[in-house]
Amino acid sequence: MAARIVVAEDDVKQAELVRRYLRREGHEVTVVHDGPAAVAAAERDAPELLVLDVMLPGADGFAVCRALGERHDVRVLMLTARATEDDMLRGLDLGADDYMTKPFSPRELVARVRVLLRRARRPAPGAAPLRVGELTIDPLAHEVVCDGAPVRCTPGEFALLERMAAEPGRAFTRAQLLTLLHGSDRYITERTVDMHVMNLRRKIERDPRRPIRLVTVYGVGYKLTDGAAPA
């Protein structure tokens, strides 16, 4: 599936290598080498995917994610030489969908891109909105409404919410939700799911400290309820 992709990488040789591998897959690739240029390219080109190095001059990858915010329905694959879990969680908190540490295999990067783009594809026409209490998830419009107000979600948050809304009341394990978000990636931990859940609670719960919609099932994981009463 061909897509528009922006690669933001300050290492010119690394950026060119990534560009060549993505071009072989048929993608239209724009390469930039600093943070402000990454923001400008995302604004201008409306790409489906942004391959984003964390250590960019001018503005780092975290600042780029923050600048883009939730205004753009774009998947973000972050690249970094810093392999700490805190860095990964910070990136996810700002809207990144996947995280790769350097050095990495270009072929693995292409595979990750393929997975992210496949998950970003729109559902077939006629896909019905999902309703759980006062929460509505529209897969076709890629929109979430809670208590009558629109809710802006990152693509990863939307994918998690859509999956759980398809089976309200079902308890999903962290491993099941992690597989939904990142496949069988051995580098990503279950804390990633906790971060997505924490962010979603800020957006759909009246009191995120006392969730009644996206609730914890102790010893199992999480479930989505209609919010009629505390679970």
**Residues carrying CATH 1.10.10.10, the chain:** 130-224
Of all helices (H) and strands (E), which one includes residue 175?
Answer: helix 174-182
Q: Half-sphere exposure of 34 toward its Cβ, with a 13 Å CA cutoff?
A: 5
Predicted pLDDT at 171: 93
CA distance 92 to 89: 5
Taking the C-alpha atoms of residue 83 and residue 43, their distance in angstroms, rounded to an integer, is 29
Task: Give the pLDDT mean for 192-205.
Answer: 88
Q: Please state the CATH superfamily assignment of the domain spanning residues 4-120 in this structure.
A: Response regulator (3.40.50.2300)
- Which architecture characterizes domain 130-224 according to CATH? Orthogonal Bundle (1.10)
Asked whether the predicted pLDDT for residue 178 surpasses 60, the reply is: yes
Please tell me whether the overall predicted TM-score, pTM, comes out greater than 0.85 for this model: no
Which pLDDT band, with edges at 50, 70 and 90, does 184 fall under?
A: very low
- Does pLDDT of 8 surpass 80? yes
Closest listed residue to residue 97, CA positions, set 67, 130, 61, 128: 61
Tell me if 145 sits within 8 A of 135, measured CB to CB.
yes
Has residue 14 got a pLDDT over 80?
Answer: yes
Q: Which residue has the higher pLDDT, 212 or 86?
A: 212
pLDDT class of 111 with cuts at 50, 70, 90:
confident
Cβ–Cβ under 8 Å, residues 137 and 225: no
pLDDT in tens, 120-153: 655 544 468 899 999 999 988 888 999 999 998 8
- What pLDDT band is residue 11 in, cutting at 50, 70 and 90? very high
Question: pLDDT at residue 105 above 50?
Answer: yes
Q: What is the pLDDT of residue 66?
A: 85
CB contact at 8 A, 55 and 80: yes
Can you tell me which residue has the tokens 């999903």? Answer: 172
Mean pLDDT value across the chain: 84
pLDDT for the residue 16: 95
Residue limits of CATH 3.40.50.2300 in the chain: 4-120
Q: pLDDT digits over 208-230, tens only?
A: 999 999 999 998 999 999 987 54
Helix (H), strand (E) at residue 200 = helix 191-204
CA–CA distance, 20 with 34 (Å, rounded to integer): 19
Percent of the chain beyond pLDDT 90? 43
Binning pLDDT at 50, 70 and 90, where does residue 70 land?
low
The answer for residues whose C-beta is within 8 angstroms of residue 80's C-beta and 6 or more apart is 53, 54, 55, 61, 87, 91, 99, 100, 101, 102
As a whole number of angstroms, the distance between CA 47 and CA 29 comes to 9
pLDDT at 60 over 60: yes
- 167-205 as b/e: b if 16+ CB within 10 A: ebeebbebeebbebbbeebeebbeebbbbbbebbbebbb
Residue type, 217: V
